[in-house]
Structure 1
Amino acid sequence: MGLLFLQRLEGEGVFRCRRCRVDSASKDAIISRDFYGRTGRAYLFDHVVNICLGPNEDRHLVTGLHTVNDIYCSCCQQILGWRYEKAYNQSEKYKEGKYILERARMVKDG
């Protein structure tokens, strides 16, 4: 195994992995709080750090068919949410390249 390099986020309102407390996203990167994941409430983020992406997978979500990648904590490998790779409905294209973090899998500092 090699060294694990983690990015640290500065300021208040940092979301961290609930299991290992590694920084994942800043509240400043939240696009919307009106999302739901497998475990309940979720937030849509423009930018996240310290994650690994799973393989592309087509999923039928509430808003239609999307190609997504699961997001894993790069430290402890806990699943945190998913990334929208492709949206097939024109009205959902704004989600492409954005990230969903499930609130139940995160802790917020500050």
Structure 2
Amino acid sequence: MADFRGQPLYNCRNCKNPIALRDDLVSKKFWAKSGPAYLFSHAMNVVVGQKKDKELITGVFSIADIYCSNCGEVLGWKYVRAYDATQTYKEGKFIIEIAKVAKLY
């Protein structure tokens, strides 16, 4: 098991499972189903669901919902593919809804 002591991280609000490190936070300027969301370059302890094409605010993407590996809570989604060349920087990154996580220091 990894040792995250001393590293700011984000946990599942429901079960406190570690989800993402502060160092992997790319942007705080995103929007999701429940409101504001963060874009992370990496997420841990998540299960990636089936991919589907979806039209979002910035275009059409292939995305997959992500779930907490401990309690199954839907946390956001993973960008699998961007169909617009200007949005490809999001591919492989994770949107995590602020309402679904708690920050821990």
TM-score range for the pair, normalised by the shorter chain length: over 0.9
Instruction: Name 1:107's counterpart in structure 2.
Output: 102
Provide the secondary structure at the position in 2 that maps to 1:56. strand
Q: How big is the shift at 1:13?
A: 2.0
Instruction: Name 1:13's counterpart in structure 2.
Output: 8
Instruction: Name 2:75's counterpart in structure 1.
Output: 80
Q: Which runs of 4+ in 1 moved over 6 A?
A: none
Percent identity over the alignment is 39
Provide the secondary structure at the position in 2 that maps to 1:92. helix
Instruction: Name 1:55's counterpart in structure 2.
Output: 50
Provide the secondary structure at the position in 2 that maps to 1:52. strand
Instruction: Please give the TM-score of this superposition, normalised by the length of structure 1.
Output: 0.91
Greater strand share, structure number: 2
Tell me: CA distance 1:57–1:8, structure 2 relative to 1, closer, same or farther (3 Å). Answer: farther
RMSD between superposed Cα atoms in Å? 1.2
Instruction: Name 1:90's counterpart in structure 2.
Output: 85
Q: Deviations over 1:48-69 (max 9, x none)?
A: 1000011011110000100000
Q: How big is the shift at 1:8?
A: 5.3
Structure 2 Cα separation of the partners of residues 62 and 37 of structure 1: 10
Q: How big is the shift at 1:80?
A: 0.3
Q: Deviations over 1:69-93 (max 9, x none)?
A: 0000000000000000000001000
Instruction: Name 2:62's counterpart in structure 1.
Output: 67
Number of residue pairs matched by the alignment: 105
Write the letter of the residue equivalent to 2:84.
N
Q: How big is the shift at 1:35?
A: 0.2
Any stretches of 5+ residues in structure 1 without a counterpart? 1-5
